Structure 1
């Protein structure tokens, strides 16, 4: 009886897509040196009712590097996320996550654990103004030394370069960076999930086009405009820019937005009242477009007035009009005291009453009267007593995105986290709303701060240090001000190379002589915490699940989310240990391959678990 080994790498999206196509078009699947492949010529004919010859023009956005971007999104990686307990707050109990590392690789690692689980994504990517850094994801032709010397990699081994307007691939490089990240991000959204993307007019049109392609044009939910409060641009060659945009796309047609509470100005139009509260009235006759009888014949019917006469909807020039609702709905409104009559020289006129209590205002695409970028900078400065971050977004802005798109248990993702405004907004909203337990996942590259900056002088060597400290300080401030009993903690993870030796992934490249060097295929500097994180990702378990430490037969055991996963990475795993472990009936259990004295002991433990706990799935690393 063999024991299955864990993959310990991100999912291969190409193989998954091939398997899906194979189910629909088995005749289009062929074999190549690397395994299964698709015969695209055959597939093109399967998807058309006419003979296809050669390439044809079509409506789509093309740029140098697009094919590379698509392939980049699909390529699996063997990296992992390592927990950093010393930077975390309440690591064992919190459900919030902060991840340091290249967001493309992090998104790949989250594909199984958070597939279809994220309700809302907010990102504030580089605007590509000519001074921004962008990620360069493919350096296959360059040597590592050349990359570092040219500034394309920093001391954290991250791939960042400035993208000036004079660059030959100015727009292309930015699109190549954004495309695979959005493609992977879409997979993480729930079916009714929504993404908000801040941008200015430099890349607004291009971003709209790639989002139409990735999310579907029919899932474009609009473009929000908001005053920034910080005009930019000099001279009279162009219009001064005083607004930012937020592109909004949904995963599917099943998404909807929640209404917002009325402001004092909104309430002013509710200028009448009775024993049931404040209300306003609107003519029951439809006005404006499509107000004629022929537009909706079923909504043109007779209504009895207070004096007993019957009236019909008549337009201002005498044409036959229609009411706002059908006859059944009218009688329902009448029964609920929502019809009010007024008498004038033209006779009796019916009006519909709208009460203020319980009403919400549907969000529009113009967000005025909301704090601007100056307030955002002051918010950060007040927390740090210093200007440690140049371009934060307003907390109120992201809080509004959260209010209209998420519910109490939603997971929120920001993979261009910056100063962690999104985490700040989630904590603030959770403290304000009773029963709110929104959880966040922040992802940020540890981009070095400028040595001349106030942030560097204050001791913050990279952006992640600023983001984590902001969360700590904002959480303490909110807790002090509100006393709310919510989750103020966060678990920190750092992107790193796999915990496993190279032989784990490519045993065919090593001879029997070499294999003796890798009796334990786990790297010597890795801890049990490290191994557990990679196992959770590989098994598709959220990183936010509760982790407990137990002792079974004098061995340390990690218990994740009650009996969802038991992991023991110690040596000496035997039948006695298996008997004790089986009493808890874990759904999954994982051991180190080197934790068994030999293959016989490994098979015996698997057989025993199968007898005593049939539902347990056992794997090794």
Structure 2
């Protein structure tokens, strides 16, 4: 029967186990007694393995622990927050309140390789920044005390002062696991933009090279953040910040055109499709691939192959695959023994590395935007939407998902709404923000904004309303709000180092129920869908079938019975099966120990080709 019933996983993916499974598939001989034989792996790699005694790379205290933090699965879930949502039933946007490390793990199941663009504005490590916790269960108050951000009276202190012995290491330990997880979410042609200043630019570039690959460093943009008068340095007035860009894979064109840039290419050729410039099909200094090194026959019957390379050290490949060449021969030009592609003129131009024009905005521009929307100075130095709109334009396409897991005041979400208004796109955003409290006595607290997350939600809603009032709104100005929470299922919420007496009590409690008493059907469903690989914006409705109240997902593709207190009859379950969902989810406790009822349901589902899942 176990083959006919699918058990919902209790945690997010275990990346260590999955990596070992991939190794076992590629090289089964390196697996011995269920473990990876590292010496055998080195033997097979032979000359490709580096000498462990002399290595090039970025190393710091705590790096191994930071990596484990990324790999460690979590049982945490996201609880729907209907009260703080906007247009819950129709929106495809998401706002999540909680620690971003845990949230990034939760997003892995469904959003793996689905995010086209990530933008983050992390703490710059100036000595005054809030450094994120890596254990949300301890609670924000406990975390603030533990990191000495507040004293015994609760007064906030400087967090990661440069007098600390591991000043840079603390920041790297915070960033490393988050970037590792973020990379998994990017599409093959996806990109990440990271704002930073001089404090950590050097370490960020090295860290990015390690996580994404040095060949995937697209650019480091320089943004003129101030308009003069800067007095924050004894020696030099610093007027700029950096935006570091890495791509998921260097094999695809990472960035699009900047729609407001002036094109510098000379389009001195034309055909029926318009004006175009010629670009060499062969590309130097790319990672060599044998499949991209081939001969092709031109319309003149001549054979063309890669040139100007040392056969012993190939360093050139064709930019297009052989199949793509065959499909697009009309886009090739054979001239003077070389092959060119037609680069057609498009609106805008290639992004430039210097963001110095007023069109990119300044720090004060972002502050003014928030003040105009919310009516007060509630946030320090938010990024202007003018800047982020440019990044959204060059880093995403009109149907992309854009993620910001250091959401701050919600500038990225605002920029996504503005981009959709501009080009009638359907981009969706996912914004993640820790519930960092606003300062006591601040204007924000006086206006009822207790956390940075509450400011961001208000800002996003008002930005959508503002665009709508100007007749510029896109088709989605809402967002579904979620809050990071512990699992709703008691049986999944057990630490590996639990005391024996506590374990006995836990098992005793499970006789009564395996789900939390205060968990609603919507809470349970959200967790089950996430852990089974569904998105955060599935269409959900309450339906009655054969006298049972169920949740319908995607117009009945999934049906879920989540009432553990009312045991369904076999006839009622037969009626549910006759509704013919692709998947049926039933809480284990709903069977109330009746294994025969569970077996009969499994057989009914099998006869109809329905997947039966329990939890």
Please report the TM-score for the alignment, with normalisation by the length of structure 1: 0.80
Aligned-residue offset at 1:404: 1.0
Pairing 1:193–2:193 present = no
Tell me which of 336, 351, 355 is aligned to 1:363: 351
Pairing 1:37–2:35 present = yes
2:423 aligned partner: 433
How big is each residue's C-alpha offset from its partner over 1:388-444, in whole Å with a ceiling of 9 and x where there is no partner? 11121010111111111211210010000000001111111112212x110000000
Contact 2:219 2:245 in 1 (8 A): yes
2:575 aligned partner: 580
Change in 2 beyond 3 A, CA 1:513/1:199: closer
Tell me which of 85, 88, 98 is aligned to 1:88: 85
Residue correspondence of structure 1 range 208-219 to structure 2 within 5 A: 208-219=205-216
1:478 aligned partner: 467
Aligned-residue offset at 1:138: 6.7
Residue correspondence of structure 1 range 216-235 to structure 2 within 5 A: 216-229=213-226, 234=231
Pairing 1:413–2:415 present = no
Residue correspondence of structure 1 range 449-488 to structure 2 within 5 A: 449-482=438-471, 484=473, 486-488=475-477
Change in 2 beyond 3 A, CA 1:14/1:525: same
Question: Match of 1:110, SS?
Answer: helix
Aligned-residue offset at 1:47: 2.0
Contact 2:216 2:247 in 1 (8 A): yes
1:497 aligned partner: 486
- Cα distance in 2 for partners of 1:9, 1:378 equals 43
Change in 2 beyond 3 A, CA 1:359/1:380: closer
Contact 2:223 2:242 in 1 (8 A): yes
How big is each residue's C-alpha offset from its partner over 1:516-536, in whole Å with a ceiling of 9 and x where there is no partner? 653320010101111111111
1:312 aligned partner: none
Aligned-residue offset at 1:104: 0.2
- Cα distance in 2 for partners of 1:513, 1:420 equals 41
Contact 1:226 1:244 in 2 (8 A): yes
Residue correspondence of structure 1 range 368-383 to structure 2 within 5 A: 368-369=356-357, 370-383=360-373
- Cα distance in 1 for partners of 2:29, 2:229 equals 57
1:590 aligned partner: 585
Tell me which of 81, 96, 99 is aligned to 1:99: 96
Question: Match of 1:113, SS?
Answer: helix
How big is each residue's C-alpha offset from its partner over 1:268-324, in whole Å with a ceiling of 9 and x where there is no partner? x99x9xxx9x999x99xxxxxxxxxxxxxxxxxxxxxxxxxxxxxxxxxxxxxxxxx
How big is each residue's C-alpha offset from its partner over 1:305-347, in whole Å with a ceiling of 9 and x where there is no partner? xxxxxxxxxxxxxxxxxxxx854899x99xx9xxxxxxxxxxx
Change in 2 beyond 3 A, CA 1:593/1:101: same
- Cα distance in 2 for partners of 1:494, 1:480 equals 30
Please report the TM-score for the alignment, with normalisation by the length of structure 2: 0.80
Pairwise CA RMSD of aligned residues?
3.7
Question: Match of 1:85, SS?
Answer: coil
2:67 aligned partner: 70
- Cα distance in 2 for partners of 1:566, 1:420 equals 35
Change in 2 beyond 3 A, CA 1:368/1:133: same
Tell me which of 170, 173, 187 is aligned to 2:170: 173
Aligned-residue offset at 1:174: 0.2
Tell me which of 239, 247, 251 is aligned to 1:242: 239
1:18 aligned partner: 20
Change in 2 beyond 3 A, CA 1:380/1:462: same
1:599 aligned partner: 595
Question: Match of 1:548, SS?
Answer: strand
1:322 aligned partner: none
How big is each residue's C-alpha offset from its partner over 1:326-379, in whole Å with a ceiling of 9 and x where there is no partner? 54899x99xx9xxxxxxxxxxxxxxxxx99x84431111112222111111000
- Cα distance in 2 for partners of 1:532, 1:235 equals 51
Contact 2:70 2:177 in 1 (8 A): yes
Aligned-residue offset at 1:483: 5.5
Change in 2 beyond 3 A, CA 1:185/1:557: same
Aligned-residue offset at 1:610: 1.1
> How many pairs are equivalent?
545
Question: Match of 1:135, SS?
Answer: coil
Unaligned runs of 5+ in 1: 284-324, 337-353
Tell me which of 25, 29, 39 is aligned to 1:27: 29
